[in-house]
Amino acid sequence: MLGWFRNLLGPGVPSLSAQEAQAKLKSGAILLDVRTPYERKDGKIPGSKALPLAELAKGWESLPKDKEIICQCASGNRSRQAAAFLARKGYTAYNLLGGIEAWKRAGLPLKK
């Protein structure tokens, strides 16, 4: 019964905690912020690249295939969708579990 549902959603993608994501970023991974420009005004993770989820279908090819990509949104739902999309395109993609809210709770740096 769950097989059809899994096919509908596509491949599952691994999720990373804020600390795991930070370690991967230090190793050269790219952080892709899929929130809207309005949401980014409230703060962003330093070094993140903005590509809203609504624009991902037309902007994904600008992302380097030779780097791991960590997708991030506010809470982790849109970024999970973005990571699954990128995984289907052949990228090594992760979801930042809990999004920027988890990043804040972990006390990691933010930029206004």
Cα dihedral: 52, 63, 81, 77 (round 10) = -60
- Using a 10 angstrom Cβ sphere, with 0-12 exposed, 13-18 middle and 19 or more buried, the burial of residue 96 is buried
**From CA 45, how far away is CA 6, in angstroms rounded?**
31
E strands, 3-97, where? 15-16, 30-33, 49-50, 69-72, 93-96
3-class secondary structure, 111: strand
Tokens of 13: 């993608």
73 a catalytic residue = yes
Q: Which of 13, 16, 25, 73 is catalytic?
A: 73
Q: Which residues are identified as catalytic?
A: 73
